[in-house]
Amino acid sequence: MSYIKEKDQLDKGCIFEAGAGKKHEKESLLLYRDNLVVAFLNRYPYTNGHMLLAPSRHIADIDDMLPGENRALFALIRDSVAILRKHKMPDGFNIGLNLGTVAGAGQPDHLHFHIVPRWEGDHNFMTVLSEVRTIPEHIEATFDQLLPDFQALNSK
């Protein structure tokens, strides 16, 4: 409920620029930042461990990515999946990119990928009938669990 009540305050500015200048920040759910890419937990997750990964540079379209950003982003996707497998043990993942508002991009001016861990039987009637999500673990607990592995990535 705290996320719903604070939503208006949280929607100011680009979410991928939160925690600017920091490699990790719990308040903004920033797990990883370097000069090319960023990784955040999604503040409004579909499942536990739902992440958002983006280039650090504010770009809207995949055609605007530089080769180094492209490599770094896909390496971070790979590393994030490995970290989520280690801690959350999902049965699979949805990994996707929505380009443009009409395609469902909630932040259309900053290209980003979603990584959504999935478990066998994780659908329920709540999402279908009332757009309510049931998340069994508090997002700050998920952040605390994943952070040490992302900190290790910064030290590579």
Q: To 10 degrees, the CA torsion angle through 144, 148, 151, 152?
A: -160
Structure-token pair, residue 125? 């009637």
The question of whether 138 is a catalytic residue gets the answer no
CA–CA dist 123, 96 (Å, integer): 18
For 139, which DSSP code?
H
Among candidate residues 24, 50, 110, 112, the one labeled active-site is: 112
Whether residue 32 contacts residue 76, with contact meaning beta carbons closer than 8 Å, is answered with yes
Structure-token pair, residue 155? 């030290």
In 3D space, the residue among 33, 22, 44 whose CA is nearest the CA of residue 73 turns out to be 33
Residue type, 124: N
Sign of CA dihedral 22, 14, 63, 47: positive
CB atoms near residue 121 (< 10 Å): 7
Residue type, 27: E
> What residues are labeled active site?
112
